Amino acid sequence: MKIKRCSHCVNDNTVKNFKLYDDGVCNFCHTHLEYYDILHNYNDLKKLFLLKIKNDGQYEYDAAVGFSGGKDSTYVLYKLVKEYNLKVYAFTLDNGFLSDEAKQRIKDVVNALNVKHEFVECDTNLLKKIYKSIVSKYLSPCIACSFLGYAVMINQASKINAKVTIHGRSTYQMFRNFATDVEDVFKPFIFSGLQENVDLESLYKQVLGKIESLVDNKLKEEIQTKLLKDAYKNGFREFVAYFLYHPYNKEDVIDFLQSNKIWTFDNEDEHFDCLIHYGAWYLKSLIARRNHELPEYSVMIRENHIDRDIALNIVNNTKFDKTRAKKELKMFCDYCNLSYSKIMIKAKIYSKRWW
């Protein structure tokens, strides 16, 4: 397949739903320009954020905060506690692949901030069924993890009676698939986040309907009765993205945390929290035949956080540690009773079809 690349970012036609217009610029860049003023008016966005987190006293906690122990979620937790003075309940999904290093960092941070925290453990059989069902079809453990993470975050706020759920998904992650002509599971949360009043029932019906379509009806029912039981029982709470209302720059986040001595970037692998992250990243990159994070680098370019030539050099010269990837993927497949060889065969077939 002949590569056609956007003249502004590094997205090309290996990216799902990529479209190139006559001006040589892709649909994702056009959307970024269309919404630039709204998404960068941080004075108004902060006012909106304050409305979102305002607790009139009927809630036990101001916010339930998803906390992985990584730099972004640590930064968000610190800001909410130290600058916004919120009463928060932090929680971490133990999805079966949470590293010991992450667990220790999490304990250190919540102790330093004096925050109540819980490691949320899901039914192991349900976890394995979700992983197996989604990965068998879509060849991405990350889709399954995102689904699980969203479900737990959504449910947790209702369970502990928090006003909102707040998460630290970065700008690069949130907007990697953001285009007016592209359907993306996360996009409804972006648009609802920009509204003062949100019809939560309608929002979650739309979002959960898309997510639950990834699994069969039997598993869907089990998810509703186990993962989302408190949300259905007590009512849904708003799912708030901290970095939708605040500027994000990866280097600034790291500098802030290190200067406040709350987090140290002493591990080159910033995804140290996940024991299978590298394997999952390699699998997705294998299918795309390129660095899977290319769309995130494109967001960095649009935000003027990285030079296009530097980003292009990174994505074109990514080297993969196949031994490490194979080890992690085999561990994952053993965990959820999947055939490693079949997964890799499917990935290669999918890659040829895509190209």
Q: Residue 348's pLDDT band (boundaries 50, 70, 90)? A: confident
Cα gap 167→215, rounded to integer Å:
24
**Rg value, the chain, Cα:** 20
311-341 tens-digit pLDDT? 999 999 999 999 999 999 999 999 999 999 9
Place of tokens 């954020």: 49
pLDDT confidence of residue 269: 56
Sign of dihedral through CA atoms 135, 19, 6, 2? positive
Average pLDDT over residues 167-191: 94
Q: How far apart are CA 77 and CA 270, in angstroms?
A: 18
pLDDT higher than threshold 90 for residue 213 = no
Query: Higher confidence at residue 43 or residue 271?
Result: 43
CA distance 223 to 77: 28
What is the rounded average pLDDT of the residues 63-67? 97
The pLDDT, as a whole number, for residue 211 is: 78
Task: Supply the pLDDT for residue 208.
Answer: 86
Alpha-carbon gap, residue 288 to 285, rounded angstroms? 5
> Model confidence at 355, in pLDDT bands (50, 70, 90)?
very low
Look up residue 128 and give its amino acid. K
First to last CA, the chain: 6
**How far apart are alpha carbons 82 and 104 in whole angstroms?**
21
Select from 3.30.1360.170, 3.90.1170.30, 3.40.50.620, 3.40.50.410 the CATH code of 41-250.
3.40.50.620
Tell me the mean pLDDT in the region 279-308: 95
- Whether the per-residue pLDDT at 15 is higher than 50: the answer is yes
Predicted pLDDT at 267: 55
* Ranges 124-133, 197-206, 264-273: which has the least confidence: 264-273
DSSP state of 292: T
Q: What is the pLDDT of residues 108-151, one digit of tens each?
A: 999 999 999 999 999 999 999 999 999 998 899 998 898 888 89
Q: How far apart are CA 131 and CA 332, in angstroms?
A: 9
| Digit-coded pLDDT (tens) for 217-234 | 888 899 999 999 999 999
**For residue 4, is pLDDT > 90?**
yes
Report residue 199's pLDDT band, with 50, 70 and 90 as the boundaries: very high
Q: Domain segments of the chain: what residues? A: 41-250, 272-354
Cα 274–275–278 angle (5° rounding)? Answer: 85
- Res 289: pLDDT: 87
Residues in a beta bridge with 64: 89, 165
pLDDT-derived band at 212, boundaries 50, 70, 90: confident
- pLDDT recorded at residue 266: 62
What are 174-183's pLDDT values in tens digits? 999 999 999 8
- Residue 159 pLDDT exceeds 80: yes
Long-range contacts: 303-312, Cβ < 8 Å, 24+?
303/171, 303/248, 303/249, 305/249, 305/250, 305/251, 308/8, 308/9, 308/10, 311/10, 312/10
Q: What is the pLDDT of residue 38?
A: 98
- Which residues lie across from 166 on neighbouring strands? 65, 240
Q: CA angle, 116 as apex, 112 and 122 as ends, to 5°? A: 120
